[in-house]
Chain A
Amino acid sequence: MSSNNRTINFGLAINEALRQMMQTDAEVILIGQGVKSPWYVGNTCNGLVSDFGEERVIDTPVSENAMTGAAVGAAIAGMKAVVVHPRVDFVLYALDPIINQAANWHYMNGGKSSVPVVFWLIVNRGGEQAAQHSQALHSLFAHIPGLKVVAPSTPHDAKGLMIAAIRDQNPVVFIDDRWLYGLKEEVPAEIYEVPIGKGILRKSGSDVTLVSWSAMAREAQMAADELEKEGIGVDLIDLRSVKPYDEALILESVRKTGRLVVADGAWKTGGFAAEIIATVCEKGFDKLKAPAVRVCLPDCPAPASSSLEKVYYLTACDVVKAIKHIL
């Protein structure tokens, strides 16, 4: 297949990353609920069992804590383990192996041992699924020293970040969103990495800096396109990695625009949008011409009923409104 003019969707981009990593390195394993079936993980694991066998592609009992610990233990023994939680909410049973163990491991063992594991967590918001199938918890993981956190918004970045995460010697939390799985774009067929910690400028403008990632990056793109029609120039940053994040790219943009809006598809209080704004206040306060603004979920669990979902989830309109408010 040519690496040019080939489009695949977000789910298949992840599938390709997993397949290529498993092909090139016999030490890569995939473990978690649903890897044998599209029921939980969409098309991301298509064909992996038949290609690599049930020894390396391990569908599991519903035991999130032990299965995550098993992935961490296999990584301590030198394998490169990817453990998937098909709903991010399920991973809360497994915070001990992620936070107490994997995140602290290299430090508390004085660099004598590392944990090359990927915690792949899928957000599955909307669809009246209510509070326990939909939570976006990247801020929680970003708070923890020793963890890296990535949150791609495009098929290209999903593949490149999954490859980078598997190759990284440290524990990486890879968070994606089922809302993105249908997106299609050109994706190189070869193996490539999107570097962890590097954001990307999606659109250039001089009026306001708009920072987002994961599913909110799509809404931000629509908002920027809409504002362009009205003559408002948005410098649009897709962060791609939440930790470490591309501080330099944001500061450079704010230096140019003097205005900052952060759109995060997670709760406002104690969230990552606040972290970004705090950093800009510390390092670029004199460049701000207006208050920096957060566009975040209301501090409220996700509701079931569609009438409430409509006001709970964020759209491009919310982003447009926030930007106009500070112009």
Chain B
Amino acid sequence: MTYETSFLHSLYYLMLRIRKAEESLVEPILRGEIKTPCHLYSGQEAIATGIGAALDPTDYIFGNHRSHGHYLAKGGSLNEMIAEIYGMESGCSRGRGGSMHLISPEHGVLGIVPIVSGTISLAMGSALASSIRKDGRVSVSFFGDGATGEGVLYESLNFASLKKLPIIFACENNLYSTHLPISEIRTNAEIHKIAEPFGIKSYRVDGNDVLEVYEKAEEAVHYCRSGQGPVFMEFLTYRFRGHVGPDDNIQGSHTDIRPVNEIRQWLERDPIKLFEEKLKSTEALDEAIIEKMNREAEEEVKAAHAFCKASVKPREEDLYRYVFK
């Protein structure tokens, strides 16, 4: 498939923007300026970016604890995300949610929560609303391999299939459920097969190849939008950081989880580097553009931190505000 260069650049830029936003949090976390638990998305950018590009602005997404990338890819404001992570009133959730509760209803980011599997049924509900209203919207629930241990996933697969709901179950398999490798939580590592008994179309996708993600997501979105029912997508990927915060969970360190060789191998499959090489080989990208886009992304992130620094925290007298509408 051939694409407009501007489209390819937009995918590349979005991945860069997500990566730089995530990595900009590392120092402030280590300095104790950011306290909200940040589950960094570095290494998985191709998935949010590819799916985001396949969706319409009016489509819905729901996320999980590791959702900074989903929020940005669907159009959420970078300024408001950084401000939310710092607990500011100008944050997307007005400082009441923190890193794990980003929202942007005007961009279809309907909700993000850290309860594992917590938004799978919610996305099914927004898909149900779309199927009743016949509004043509598609809902996506992003979850990880750890969520495959939760019963509500299977209840939702059954019901979504039964009612042919327009929902994409997007499972980002980064091979670790918090601290446990996938071999310790499942007998069968082929997660994409769990949807088959429910009669659901399913894919296994290289989650570090943004164009493959985009192409398969396009197919899935078309399938859902045309009323054929739900789609299950497993994306194989790897998070560069540990489960939460900047710690890499390397074997031998105090968190002692991941073999250093495994991390090294996956760093070689960095989705941004892979895409960069691909684009350079087709001359869609050269060093000057790479440098320019890197600089722009850095400036945008820096501006978001500046926006945040100029913001204020919620007032103490507003503690009870928003308990009820």
Q: Which residues of A contact B (CB under 8 A)?
A: 29, 55-56, 58, 60-61, 63, 65-79, 81, 96-97, 100-101, 105-114, 145-146, 148, 169-170
Contact = CB atoms under 8 A, between A and B. Distances in A.
B95 A106 contact: no
A101 B120 contact: no
Given A65-B155, A107-B96, A112-B93, A78 B322 contact: no
A270 to B, nearest CB: 22
B115 interface: yes
B111 A76 contact: yes
A148 B324 CA distance: 9
A73 B128 contact: yes
Contacts of A70: 121-122, 124-125, 128, 156, 159
A7 B296 CA distance: 72
B96 A69 contact: no
B227 to A, nearest CB: 13
B111 A63 contact: no
Contact of A112 (B105, B126, B159): B105
Given A61-B162, A108-B93, 13 more contacts: A66-B120, A69-B124, A70-B156, A73-B123, A73-B125, A76-B126, A77-B60, A77-B125, A106-B322, A106-B325, A110-B91, A110-B95, A112-B105
Given A61-B159, A101-B118, A113-B111, A69 B325 contact: no
Contact of B130 (A69, A77, A106, A145): A77
A110 B97 contact: yes
Given A112-B103, A113-B103, A66 B132 contact: no
B322 A66 contact: no
B313 interface: no
Contacts of B103: 109-110, 112-113
A66 B93 CA distance: 26
Contacts of B159: 60-61, 63, 66-67, 70
Given A69-B120, A70-B125, A112-B105, A146 B323 contact: yes
A110 B322 contact: yes
Contacts of A106: 322-325
Contacts of B131: 55
B72 interface: no
Contact of B121 (A66, A112, A145, A146): A66
B325 A65 contact: no
Contact of A76 (B104, B110, B130, B155): B110
A106 B321 CA distance: 10
A56 B134 CA distance: 12
A72 B126 CA distance: 9
Interface size, B (range): 35 or more
Interface-central residue, A60, A65, A100, A107, by most chain B CB under 10 Å: A107
Interface string B82-94: 0000000001111
Contact of B155 (A56, A66, A107, A146): A66
B32 interface: no
A113 B60 CA distance: 14
B323 A66 contact: no
Nearest to B163: A58
Interface string B281-307: 000000000000000000000000000
6 nearest interchain CB pairs? Answer: A73-B125, A69-B121, A110-B94, A66-B155, A73-B122, A63-B155
B324 A100 contact: no
B325 A73 contact: no
Given A63-B159, A73-B122, A111-B321, A79 B132 contact: yes
Contacts of A146: 323-324
A147 to B, nearest CB: 9
Contacts of B92: 110, 112
A69 B323 contact: no
Contacts of A56: 132
B115 A66 contact: no
A96 B139 CA distance: 20
29 contacts: A56-B132, A58-B128, A61-B155, A61-B159, A61-B162, A63-B159, A65-B151, A66-B120, A69-B121, A70-B122, A70-B156, A70-B159, A72-B121, A73-B123, A73-B125, A74-B126, A76-B111, A77-B125, A79-B129, A79-B132, A81-B125, A101-B115, A108-B97, A109-B93, A109-B96, A109-B103, A110-B92, A112-B94, A146-B323
A69 B125 contact: yes
A108 B103 CA distance: 10
Contacts of B308: none
B122 A76 contact: yes
B59 to A, nearest CB: 11
B66 interface: no
A61 B118 contact: no
B113 interface: yes
Contacts of B139: 73
A7 B115 CA distance: 47
B263 interface: no
B211 to A, nearest CB: 31
Nearest to A102: B122
B324 A73 contact: no
Interface-central residue, A56, A108, A113, A146, by most chain B CB under 10 Å: A108
B122 A61 contact: no
A202 B201 CA distance: 59
B177 interface: no
Interface string B120-156: 1111111111111000000100000000000110011
Contacts of B121: 65-70, 72-73, 97
A72 B97 contact: no
B17 interface: no
